Amino acid sequence: MAVAEVRPVLHGFRGQEIPDFDVIRSCVHCGFCLPVCPTYRVTGRERSSPRGRIWLMKSIAEGRLDLFDPLFEEEMTLCLDCRACEAVCPSGVRYGEILEASRAQLVQHRPQTVKERFLRFLGFQVLLGDLRRFRAANRLLRLYQRSGLRALARRSGLLRLLGMEHADRLMPEINDRFVVADGSFYPATGERRGRVALFVGCVMGTSYAHVHEATIRVLTRNGFDVALIDGQGCCGALHVHSGDPESGRRLARRNIDALDSPYIDAVIVNAAGCSAVLKEYPHLLRDDHDYAERARAFSAKVRDVIEFLVERGLSAQPGPLPMTVTYQEPCHLAHAQRITRQPRALLEAIPELRLVEMAESALCCGSAGIYNLLRPEMASTLLERKLDNALATGAEAIVSANPGCMLQLQAGLRARGERVPVLHLIEVLDRAYAAAPATRPAEALAAD
């Protein structure tokens, strides 16, 4: 029986950002990645597995599959870039790197629709290109949420008409005050152990400004001066993940210029997506003559706040917090940075707090940056699965450490009418400190 006619191959990888063939062929197709891949678990199709996707990339590199084959684009966008596969890969295939390069190939060579170009420009250049504009837009959103306009838009069916219902549901509540990188400085309380810069970012500074405030309190209480150095901007993760590394590089250079200071010991990040990409600046800027070396030095100082607190040890003992929580692992913390032990260690350091592990805590919740806007169907399948697992623990709060996951979980819980709150791990720690007497001798958690 003859194989059906195969489509002719006209387009291969070319130009900028060609997926590294040596990385592609470091995959020995052992299949260990299959059971941890969210899209494979849902579809059961090999094409939607990391191994399948790498084989598709390889087929393009070898001229057996066309770059514009709809199958390829479909798979490159269906992938969440959660990188769970990397964490279990014995061969150490740098999957995220070749996936992002493949996406960059598609963005580069495939004709884009006017709508797509407009949205990219609006989101990536206008809003995230300068955080002042991002904050201004957030103020407008807050007005929309509070003035009754939202209620009106929902009631009138206008949202449905514009196809914005889904986006509206995912929109976070905007805080009434923002945390801005304006050069402010918060001195350590108690014995001083060092000085750190807080990476402010986009949504963490607006919708999650209260998490930033908690982070500052926890860090100062543990003996660290916290500086909100001005000049920093968006981390560039969304750009890099969606095939626009050039914009990512521009943002990376700006952050390095702003934050690369000899006077700070570490750059502290409380959004896992941001800390992951900040640590990848050396790869992003590998061909930049002026910045490659600086990127390496800069990234060596980047720490996720959870990682940092466990590395340096808590110098102040948290107070008791009698509640039951479950922990949902942000992919870019657990998989991209392999930080899985530390969040649990911090939670366990809080007296009377009970951590109940959920099933599949390391399976993506479906948020994945802007994925939940682009691929709502897969995103909500994964979200429902995540909520089922989380709620089955009977926890009084779901703890996470990344704004994307938190937005996604909050939207899902709202839709279900559940009252279980979603908290950033640092918020939990901050509450525990609030319950502690002001000065208590250090013990709790020893440094690594």
Partner 1 sequence: MDRQALRERLLRIVGPDGIIDDPDELLVYEYDASDEVFAGHHRPDITVLPRTAEQVQEIVNLANEFGIPVTPRGAGTGLAGAALAVRGGILLVMTRMNRVLEINERDGYAIVEPGVINLELSQLTQPRGYFFAPDPASQRACTIGGNVANNSGGPHCLKYGVTSNHILGLEVVLPSGERIWTGGPAPESPGVDLTGVLVGSEGTLGIVTKVMVRLTRLPEAVNVLLAAFPDLESASQATSAIIAAGILPAALEMMDQLTIKAVEAAFHAGYPEDAGAVLLIELDGLAEIVAESAERVAELCRQCGATEVRVARTPRERELLWLGRKSAFGAMGRLSPNYYLVDTTVPRTKLPPTMRTVEELSREYRLRIANVFHAGDGNLHPLILFDRLVPGEIERVLRCTTDILQYCVDVGGTLSGEHGIGFEKRDYMTLIFTTDDLCAMAGLKRSFDPRELFNPDKVFPSGFSCGEVNALRQQALAQRLGIEFV
Q: At residue 401, what is the residue type?
A: A
Give backbone dihedrals phi and psi of 196, rounded to 5 degrees, phi first.
-130, 160
Q: Which stretch binds partner 1 (CB under 8 A): 87-95, 139-147, 195-203, 216-224?
A: 87-95
- Which has the closest alpha carbon to 201: 424, 403, 407? 403
Tokens representing residue 235 in the block: 């981390």
Is 347 among the residues that bind partner 1 (CB under 8 A)?
A: no
For residue 26, the minimal CB distance to partner 1 (Å) is: 5
Q: Given strand 266-269, what is the order of strands in its sheet?
A: 185-186, 224-227, 194-198, 266-269, 302-304
Q: Which of 14, 63, 71, 132 binds partner 1 (CB under 8 A)?
A: 71
Note whether 5 binds partner 1 by CB under 8 A: yes
Q: Residue 302: in which H helix or E strand, if any?
A: strand 302-304
Token pair, residue 194, equals: 């060092």
- Separation CA 114–CA 78 (nearest Å): 22
Residue 8 sits in the site that holds partner 1 (CB under 8 A)? no
Residue 343 within binding range of partner 1, rule CB under 8 A: no
> Looking at 14, 16, 64, 443, which residue binds partner 1 (CB under 8 A)?
64
Of residues 16 through 55, those in contact with partner 1 by CB under 8 A are: 22, 25-35, 44-47, 49, 51-52, 55
Q: Is 11 in the site for partner 1 (CB under 8 A)?
A: no
Across 156-265, where does the E strand assignment appear? 185-186, 194-198, 224-227
Question: Strand (E) positions, 136-223?
Answer: 185-186, 194-198
To the nearest whole angstrom, how small is the minimum distance from the Cβ of residue 352 to partner 1? Answer: 25
- Least Cα distance to 425 among 195, 269, 278, 233 occurs for 269
Of 6, 10, 114, 438, the one binding partner 1 by CB under 8 A: 6
User: Shortest gap between Cβ of 50 and partner 1 (angstroms)?
Assistant: 11
Binding-site member from 67, 78, 82, 93 for partner 1 (CB under 8 A) = 93
Instruction: Name which of 52 and 129 has its Cβ closer to partner 1.
Output: 52
| Minimum distance of partner 1 from residue 397's CB (angstroms) | 26
234 neighbors 251 (Cβ within 8 angstroms): yes
Tell the residue number behind the tokens 């918060």, with chain if given.
186
Tell me if 88 contacts partner 1 by CB under 8 A.
yes
Using the rule CB under 8 A, is 91 a contact of partner 1? yes
Q: How far is the CB of 88 from partner 1 (least distance, A)?
A: 7
d(CA 447, CA 308): 10
CB atoms within 10 A of CB 190: 14
> Which residue among 59, 77, 108, 145 contacts partner 1 (CB under 8 A)?
59
The window from 82-90, 115-123, 233-241, 321-329 that contacts partner 1 (CB under 8 A) reads 82-90
Distance of closest approach, residue 295 Cβ to partner 1, in angstroms: 23
In this complex, which beta carbon is closest to partner 1, that of residue 8 or of residue 15? Answer: 8
Q: 142: exposed, middle or buried (C-beta count within 10 Å: 0-12, 13-18, 19+)?
A: middle
Q: In angstroms, what CA-CA distances link 63 with 7, 11, 77, 108, 362?
A: 12, 8, 21, 19, 36
Nearest distance, CB of residue 265 and partner 1, angstroms: 25
Binding site for partner 1 (CB under 8 A): 1-7, 22, 25-35, 44-47, 49, 51-52, 55-56, 59, 64-65, 69, 71, 88-93
